Chain A
Amino acid sequence: MESAEYRNSLIELIYQLADDDFILAYRGSEWLGLAPHIEEDVAFSSISQDLMGHATLYYSLLEELGEGDADKLTHARSPHDFHNAVLLELPNGQGTYLEEPNYDWAFTVVRNYFYTLAKKVRLQSIKENSYESLQQIVKKISVEMSYHLMHWETWFDQLMNSTPEAKRRMTDAINIVLKEMRGVFSYGENGEKIVRLSLIEREEVLIQRWKDILNEKVDFSLDIEMSLDGRNGKHTDHLEGALSTLSEVYQSVPSAEW
């Protein structure tokens, strides 16, 4: 490892990649049994399982870099120490998975499609030039992710070309997602170092690539914004709620061996 600055910047970037997949995998798992049809239930839960696997690969690298046990990183960290983009922590809709889950499928499709496309652009950049162990992980993830992208793109295209109601709901969902999409591309307050050390390319470069791909199929403007920068530990209360649910069993006996 070249220097403390390099190590810290690398760790920061891996947390961002890990926490994004981790929290979206959790949101996906909340849909279990509630997806629009049985085949989608199988597909979506499989995708969520893959995403959790991707997060595991990143956390294992953080473990190697001295950040501590992966289970602790996921289950015993304070919400302020999470580096995921705010878009990925937002709830699936009204209600909870246990009570009146009036979840929003259009929002889920748009969030997953836009995020997976951004993930592809991000990972492509890391594949070109970055820390070697991270590049190896990213190559493995890319292979699995291609199926996810295909899946969400199919849903996106079909609903965008479906009934007027579908189109209206999709448009509403797109507007919600664009309001936080900028956060997915942020590297946070240490972003300048991450880029200077060639761990990944500049935010603007990646945003442009993402827009270029989307512009081939959509005719609306892709002005992206964010309310809070999750990379700096700023989150909505939704993250705390999600983390307390997913770590409930772990927290009941923190010393247990899993």
Chain B
Amino acid sequence: MTTRMKVLQKLDSVKDPEIPSVSVVDLGIIYDVKVDEGNVEVEAMPTFSGCPALDIIKRDIKEAIEAIEGITSVEVKYIREPIWTTDRVTERGKVQLKDYGIAPPEERSGDEWRVPCPYCDSVYTTMDNIFGPAACRSILYCKSCKNPFEAMKPVAI
């Protein structure tokens, strides 16, 4: 296995502390990984600029890669461009979000934002608050199973 593959595999174990079911890879925030012998440089994309987890994620990525044998230095930096959008979340990431009770980002059709309930899959849902308990999440309500739930706030350019 190449060092780069080892690094990528290791990144699968690094989670967003606010969404512990999804790795940073599946969240789509890893933009590039550069390996030059024992030196690793990771370029990450911030989800929301005010997200308090950004520094924690950065530290966790650094510590995880440093634990790989043969790695001598790790640099993690947030890049300004391109911008992270919710369509960068992988298919696996969407499944993991749903398992955690967070409706994954949906494809937008026109102005309509249809969000199926993560518990019963009903589309009979209403938006309670576009702003939620974390910068990247909104609060919705399912009129079918009568559960409140959260959804990833859609981010598109």
Contact = CB atoms under 8 A, between A and B. Distances in A.
Interface in B16-64: 46, 48-52
Interface stretch (A87-95, A132-140, A173-181): A132-140
Given A49-B135, A136-B80, A57 B49 contact: yes
Given A42-B139, A136-B80, A139-B83, A56 B130 contact: no
B81 interface: yes
A50 B83 CA distance: 16
Contacts of A50: 48-50, 135
B67 interface: no
A54 interface: yes
Interface in A45-68: 46-47, 49-54, 56-57
Contacts of A144: 48-50, 155
B19 to A, nearest CB: 16
Interface residues of A, number: 24
A56 B50 contact: yes
B contact face: mostly helix, strand, loop, or mixed? loop
Contacts of A39: 128-129, 139
B55 to A, nearest CB: 10
A245 B157 CA distance: 37
B132 interface: yes
Contact of A53 (B50, B129, B139): B50
B133 interface: yes
B131 interface: yes
Nearest to B50: A53
Contacts of B139: 39, 42
A56 B50 CA distance: 8
B80 A140 contact: yes
B129 A136 contact: no
A147 interface: yes
A253 interface: no
A36 B2 CA distance: 57
A151 B129 CA distance: 10
B153 interface: yes
A80 to B, nearest CB: 27
Interface in B92-109: none
The list of the 4 closest CB pairs from A to B, nearest first, reads A53-B50, A53-B49, A43-B131, A46-B131
8 contacts: A39-B139, A42-B131, A43-B131, A53-B48, A54-B50, A136-B80, A137-B80, A139-B157
